[in-house]
Amino acid sequence: MNNLILMLKEVASNIHWSWNKDAVELFNEINPDFWNWSGHNPVKLFNEINQNYLEFIIEKKNLGSRVLSLYAEYKNYLKKDTYFDKKYFKTESPIIAYFSAEYGLTECLKTYSGGLGVLSGDHMKSSSDLGLPLIGIGLAYQYGYFTQVINREGWQTENYELNEFNHLPISLLRDENYIPVKVSVNLPGRTVWLQVWTVKVGRVNLYLMDTFIAENSVDDRRITDILYGGDEEKRMMQEIILGIGGIRLIEKLGLDIKAFHLNEGHSAFLCFERIKNYMKKFNVPYSEAKKKCYYSNIFTTHTPVPAGIDIFTKDLFVKYFRSYAEKELGMSVDELFYEGDLNKGDNNNHKFNMAYLAINNSNFINGVSKLHGEVSRKMWELPKSRTQIDHITNGVHTASYVSSYTSNLLRKYFTDNWLYEEDIWKRFPEITDDEIWTLRLLNKFKLVNFCRERIKEKWIFLGADKVKLNEADSILNPETLTIGFARRFATYKRGTLIFRDIDRLKKIVKNNSMPVQFIFSGKAHPKDEGGKNLISEIISYTRDNDLKNKVVFLDNYDINVARHLVEGCDIWLNNPRRPQEASGTSGMKVIANGGLNLSILDGWWDEAYNPENGWKIESVMDDSVSQENKDKLEAMSLYDTLENEIIPLYYLRNSKGVPEEWIKKIKSSVKNLAGFFSTQRMVKDYCDKFYMKVK
Ligand SMILES: *Cc1c(COP(=O)(O)O)cnc(C)c1O
């Protein structure tokens, strides 16, 4: 086969391409229709495309030299010196293992549902960029999370699409004899086997396990079919596989892991398995092994509300852990149960709490923003004698969310390697106002076109006629102030707050001299009727004559939709009930693209906000005020800020039509926030504060 094609295939096999704009542009250029058809999956693209045709295209479009330089860049990325090498030491073998129930890396790999997964994915990417000796461990869901389709009635419906592992940038893990690596866990009355997939995330290996193999019963093959699907018992089985199976995989690979990072409590059963291994290896009792393992576990919590925590009934715990407790740990299952019992045996309200298990077994614990650290310290008052709950504020993997226009501008002014240069953000104000304004318009044009295409496709799907389809070109306006709101539709995030005073909102939207438009997107959990109701309410507003084509909803919020939105929106809106948003990360993604934030002072924005950077929505701190009234008052503050500050500023133009004051805000926002609220900074923090402090 043609060498260039082999090179392309090699580049496609490592999802480093997902944060390399040159790679994505090249895949697209080969054939934009095929690229879209593949679901932005170059492995599928290069597997399915006719090889002669591919050679022909490379020749005809003269892409040869670009393939060569892409390949060289990729090879260089894998071997160059890194932050970790320079700061700590060089090592070939991983010493940090990161556990998470979901990973959001790129749109074709549907192993995530939302923010937690995207954060784990960004953690992998930055670990690779910084050269951390780290592996990720998770589950390979057959169907992943659902694809959202809003039906004619405006109601969310869920489709489950098969992940075609053979056509994804993922490969079955095999030993030196080419035999698939397998590990097992024991479930009541049987052994369940797991196969393992490797996702190459730059330098980092992410291992995903699943039960879909012949060794298992038909029922057991379905344990890992859906993310957050099924009942409590299925979740128990998935979490045993993630935690216990994950540790067995590490043993099987013979890795000498020093630090174990539990991203949320789903993987906390790993604590038991580590203790068990230590007891066997050193022939010591449970309590001593527990003390030892404690120092190398790191637990990151993501929920500030007790109701959000993963719990199991005692019956279920006993069913799954009796034999493990008695045979492996030499104790009664009741004793083991106390590891995750919030009430420490004080009453009969027995629940096994995964966060408590993780807390009990981790020296390092952190919340994901400064405020969330405080809230967590109040929620779980830990004994004074132990390490207290700290915080490391979340970030985003900036290179994954910038548009190619943004990336090109950063290259032009600074360096091709802008991702690795923390200082460039401080120099961002050197860029001229005109160029920043052009960037904003380009990013927004791209977003508006994306929305038009998506919505047109949707109308065709719903059987719209020609007249209706012609209307698609009048959806949104790239010159108009554009506000984005996209996230999970959980009730605390208040997706419909902006509609509270509908007449006031209509006035804002319909003002001809200073118009405003809104783009919404987001999924509700299949079992969350409350969340689904919010979506249906928004859909009905998008069909209102005064708002249609100015307030739009994009189906199936995923990484692709998210990227377009954070590239193009002028304002990113976030209005959760404080302090329920532990961090929130989507608002961080708009920064480098020149978007600005308007948010409740919750999560990350509580520490990021200052009047130069963006806007706040006043939140009512007085707990004696009813939720209903809080919503009302906070909505008022939202309207006031829009009407009095944001809209006039956006439309205040100089003689060339450029909003200088607005651009001043963009410059401050990028300068002050882009470097800090990135996973480059976040992963360095995890490294300095936790990973490299492990005893
Ligand atoms: C960033 C992101 C999220 C998280 O957004 P929040 O602001 O934390 O709610 C969720 N889903 C997708 C697809 C994302 O890209």
Q: Residue 115 C-alpha to ligand 1 middle, in angstroms?
A: 4
Q: Residue 584 C-alpha to ligand 1 middle, in angstroms?
A: 7
Ligand 1, atom nearest to 583 Cα: 8
DSSP H helical ranges for 13-63: 21-30, 32-37, 42-48, 51-60
Query: What CA–CA distances, in Å, run from 119 to 263, 584, 638, 654?
Result: 9, 10, 28, 40
Q: Which residues line ligand 1 (CB under 6 A)?
A: 114-115, 118, 487-488, 557-559, 562, 584-586, 589
- Least Cα distance to 618 among 597, 605, 596, 633 occurs for 633
695 by DSSP, 3-state: which? coil
Pocket test for ligand 1, best of 103, 585, 678 (most atoms within 8 A of CB): 585
pLDDT tens per residue, range 15-69: 999 999 999 999 999 999 999 999 999 999 999 999 999 999 999 999 999 999 9
Q: Spell out where 402-528 has E strands.
A: 481-486, 516-521
Q: What residues contact residue 88 under an 8 Å CB cut-off, 6+ apart?
A: 687, 692
Q: Residue 415 C-alpha to ligand 1 middle, in angstroms?
A: 28
Ligand 1, atom nearest to 574 Cα: 7
Q: Residue 543 C-alpha to ligand 1 middle, in angstroms?
A: 26
Atom 1 (ligand 1) nearest CA: 586
With residues binned 3-state (H G I as helix, E B as strand, rest as coil), the percentages for the chain, rounded to 5, are 50, 15, 35
Q: Residue 227 and residue 114: Cα distance in Å, rounded?
A: 11
Ligand 1, atom nearest to 113 Cα: 11
Name the β-bridge partners of 397: none
Q: Residue 447 C-alpha to ligand 1 middle, in angstroms?
A: 17
Q: Residue 264 C-alpha to ligand 1 middle, in angstroms?
A: 16
Q: Residue 562 C-alpha to ligand 1 middle, in angstroms?
A: 7
The residue type found at 477 is N
Atom 4 (ligand 1) nearest CA: 115
H/E stretch holding 148: strand 147-150
Pocket test for ligand 1, best of 103, 487, 573 (most atoms within 8 A of CB): 487
Q: Residue 518 C-alpha to ligand 1 middle, in angstroms?
A: 18
Question: Token match 């043609």: residue?
Answer: 2
Ligand 1, atom nearest to 587 Cα: 7
Count of other CB atoms within 10 angstroms of residue 507 = 13
Ligand 1, atom nearest to 584 Cα: 8
- Least Cα distance to 577 among 525, 521, 633 occurs for 633
Ligand 1, atom nearest to 559 Cα: 13
Q: Residue 600 C-alpha to ligand 1 middle, in angstroms?
A: 16
Atom 11 (ligand 1) nearest CA: 114
Ligand 1, atom nearest to 563 Cα: 15
Q: Residue 677 C-alpha to ligand 1 middle, in angstroms?
A: 14
Ligand 1, atom nearest to 115 Cα: 4
Ligand 1, atom nearest to 522 Cα: 11
pLDDT tens per residue, range 299-331: 999 998 887 788 999 999 999 999 999 999 999
SS3 per residue for 68-105? HHHHHHHHHHHHCCCHHHHHCCCCCCCCEEEECCCCCC
Atom 8 (ligand 1) nearest CA: 584
Q: Residue 486 C-alpha to ligand 1 middle, in angstroms?
A: 7
Tokens representing residue 562 in the block = 């998210």
pTM above 0.95, yes or no: yes
Ligand 1, atom nearest to 119 Cα: 1
Ligand 1, atom nearest to 603 Cα: 8
Q: Residue 413 and residue 592: Cα distance in Å, rounded?
A: 14
Atom 6 (ligand 1) nearest CA: 584
Ligand 1, atom nearest to 562 Cα: 15
Pocket test for ligand 1, best of 303, 563, 581, 586 (most atoms within 8 A of CB): 586
Residues of the chain with pLDDT under 50: none
Ligand 1, atom nearest to 586 Cα: 7
Ligand 1, atom nearest to 589 Cα: 1
Name the β-bridge partners of 194: 183
Q: Residue 586 C-alpha to ligand 1 middle, in angstroms?
A: 5
Q: Residue 585 C-alpha to ligand 1 middle, in angstroms?
A: 6
Residue 341: what pLDDT?
A: 82
Q: Residue 522 C-alpha to ligand 1 middle, in angstroms?
A: 9
Q: Residue 322 C-alpha to ligand 1 middle, in angstroms?
A: 38
Q: Residue 511 C-alpha to ligand 1 middle, in angstroms?
A: 31
Pocket test for ligand 1, best of 19, 105, 113, 118 (most atoms within 8 A of CB): 118
How many Å from the N-terminal Cα to the C-terminal Cα in the chain? 51
Polymer length of the chain: 695
Atom 9 (ligand 1) nearest CA: 487
Ligand 1, atom nearest to 561 Cα: 13
Q: Spell out where 462-532 has E strands.
A: 481-486, 516-521
Residue 304: what pLDDT?
A: 86
Q: Residue 634 C-alpha to ligand 1 middle, in angstroms?
A: 23
Q: Residue 379 C-alpha to ligand 1 middle, in angstroms?
A: 25
Q: Do the Cβ atoms of 405 and 426 come closer than 8 Å?
A: no
Tell me whether strands 364-367 and 390-391 are parallel, antiparallel or unpaired: parallel
Count of other CB atoms within 10 angstroms of residue 32 = 10
Atom 2 (ligand 1) nearest CA: 115
Convert 668-691 to b/e letters by CB count within 10 Å (16 or more is b).
bbbbbbbbbbbbbbbbbbbbeebb
Q: Residue 369 C-alpha to ligand 1 middle, in angstroms?
A: 15
Atom 5 (ligand 1) nearest CA: 586
The residue type found at 353 is N
Q: Residue 114 C-alpha to ligand 1 middle, in angstroms?
A: 5
